[in-house]
């Protein structure tokens, strides 16, 4: 077992011995414009809560990726949505929610979009995206709204007895409110969508480039680094997961090189999400005192 202690948290690779401990696990199942989904699970000897963040992969694909990680699809309590673009909310979750009893949770302002996706009212529970947050079992969820296209995206901070996680994707920009909301998290998952030069020289139509780069679309690699630098002061996350890399206008090697040059102390903490396979499982464990 490799382990090191940071701020009272034990990061380790031991999957056993839950007794007396609370464990937070996180992995990105897949992330790209083809589909985005992540899983978060909080487990103790007494209870477990499994949350899917974004239903941008079909329930069938989600089941397969969860299984590859050693997770059970049946243990899923809910799907939490950042927004309802097609790469974050597949229509198949309408039937799956009814069939499998999975709750679908979204911001109140997104309710019409959830209904338009065919998600049945009886399965949906809305939350206030600008409120103080809400509890899912022992997990405190604090949402934060940011502009995206003509609507908004919700980023999340999850505070748990085993540590904290922030997830922010499809951001027009990283507002000071968002940065404050995510400051101090143990695990930070944030989008690093495109390389500016690749975007500008791509064959994409100008209106699309403007939409992506215009402050209400996506974060570039440089904008992501600026956001992480701000969030990481004064305490850097133990893990940084980069989401939603464009397959056309970005490249994992280029991103790593950029981080090595600009934030070398944080580069070893990077995990770059893949479009079609899960990331490694990140695990935070806290012994009960
Ligand atoms: Zn997206």
What are the structural domains, with CATH classification, of the chain? Answer: 20-287 (3.60.15.10)
Mean pLDDT of 161-173: 94
Torsion, CA 99, CA 100, CA 101, CA 107, rounded to 10: -90
Q: In what order do the strands lie in the sheet with 76-80?
A: 3-6, 9-12, 282-287, 21-32, 35-43, 48-53, 76-80, 103-107, 124-127
Separation between Cα atoms, residue 145 and residue 154, nearest integer Å: 5
Cα distance between residue 222 and residue 231, in whole Å: 14
Q: In this model, does residue 11 exceed pLDDT 80?
A: no
Q: Give the tens place of pLDDT for each residue, 15-33.
A: 445 778 999 999 999 999 9
- Ligand 1 center from residue 56 Cα (angstroms): 8
Closest listed residue to residue 32, CA positions, set 214, 249, 280: 249
Dist. CA 169 → ligand 1 center (Å): 7
Question: What's the confidence (pLDDT) of residue 276?
Answer: 95
32 CA from centroid of ligand 1 (Å): 7
119-160 per-position pLDDT tens digit: 999 999 999 998 889 999 999 999 999 877 778 899 999 999
Distance (Å, rounded) from C-alpha 215 to C-alpha 149?
9
**pLDDT value for 114:** 96
Q: Could you tell me the distance, in angstroms and rounded to a whole number, from the CA of residue 42 to the centre of ligand 1?
A: 25
pLDDT band at 289 (very low <50, low <70, confident <90, very high): low
CA of 95 from ligand 1 middle (Å) equals 22
* Interval between CA 161 and ligand 1 midpoint (Å): 30
Residue 2 — very low, low, confident or very high, per pLDDT cuts 50/70/90?
very low
The whole-number average pLDDT for the span 106-110 is: 95
Q: Determine the distance separating the centroid of ligand 1 and the alpha carbon of 79, expressed in angstroms.
A: 16
Q: How far is the CA of 33 from the centre of ligand 1 (A)?
A: 5
Residues 6+ apart with CB under 8 A from 17: none
pLDDT tens, residue by residue, 61-103: 999 999 999 999 999 999 999 999 999 999 999 999 999 999 9
Look at residue 254 in the predicted model and tell me its pLDDT.
97
Average pLDDT score over residue span 254-280: 96
How many CA atoms within 13 Å lie on the side-chain side of 253? 0
Cα–Cα dist 128/109, whole Å: 8
Residue 189 confidence (pLDDT) above 50? yes
pLDDT tens profile 194-232: 999 888 888 888 888 888 888 788 999 999 999 999 999
6 pLDDT more than 50: no
Does residue 116 surpass a pLDDT of 70? yes
**Helix crossing, 252-262 with 221-231: angle to 10°?**
40
> What kind and span of H or E run contains 24?
strand 21-32
Distance from the alpha carbon of residue 242 to the mean position of ligand 1, in angstroms: 13
Q: How far is the CA of 54 from the centre of ligand 1 (A)?
A: 10
Q: 270-272 and 3-6: which strand pairing?
A: unpaired
Ligand 1: distance of its center to the CA of 22 in Å? 32
274 CA distance to ligand 1 centroid (A)? 14
How far from chain centre, in Å, is Cα 219?
14
Global pTM value:
0.91
| 97 backbone dihedrals φ, ψ, rounded to 5° | -65, -45
User: What is d(CA 36, CA 222) in angstroms, rounded to the nearest whole number?
Assistant: 21
Is the model's pLDDT at 57 over the cut of 50?
Answer: yes
């Amino acid at each position: 077992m490799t382990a090191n202690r940071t701020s009272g948290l034990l990061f380790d690779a031991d999957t056993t011995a839950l007794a007396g401990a609370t464990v937070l696990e996180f992995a990105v199942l897949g992330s790209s414009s083809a589909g985005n989904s992540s899983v978060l699970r909080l487990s103790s000897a007494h209870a477990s809560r499994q949350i899917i963040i974004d239903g941008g992969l079909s329930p069938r694909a989600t089941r397969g990726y969860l299984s590859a990680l050693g997770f059970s699809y049946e243990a899923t309590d809910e799907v939490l949505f950042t927004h309802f673009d097609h790469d974050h909310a597949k229509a198949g979750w309408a039937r799956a929610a009814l069939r499998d009893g999975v709750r679908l949770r979204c911001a109140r302002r997104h309710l019409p979009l959830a209904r338009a996706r065919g998600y049945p009212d009886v399965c949906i529970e809305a939350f206030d995206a600008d409120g103080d947050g809400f509890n899912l079992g022992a997990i405190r969820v604090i949402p934060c709204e940011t502009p995206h296209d003509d609507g908004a995206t919700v980023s999340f901070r999850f505070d748990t007895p085993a540590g904290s996680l922030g997830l922010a994707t499809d951001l027009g920009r990283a507002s000071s409110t968002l940065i404050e909301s995510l400051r101090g998290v143990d695990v930070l998952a944030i989008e690093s969508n495109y390389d500016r030069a690749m975007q500008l020289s791509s064959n994409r139509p100008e209106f699309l480039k403007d939409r992506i780069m215009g402050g209400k679309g996506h974060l570039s690699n440089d904008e992501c680094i600026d956001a992480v630098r701000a969030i990481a002061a004064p305490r850097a996350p133990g893990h940084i997961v980069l989401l939603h890399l464009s397959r056309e206008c970005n490249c994992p090697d280029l991103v790593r090189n950029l981080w090595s040059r600009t934030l070398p102390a944080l580069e070893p903490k990077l995990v770059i999400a893949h479009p079609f396979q899960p990331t490694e499982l990140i695990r935070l464990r806290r012994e009960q005192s």
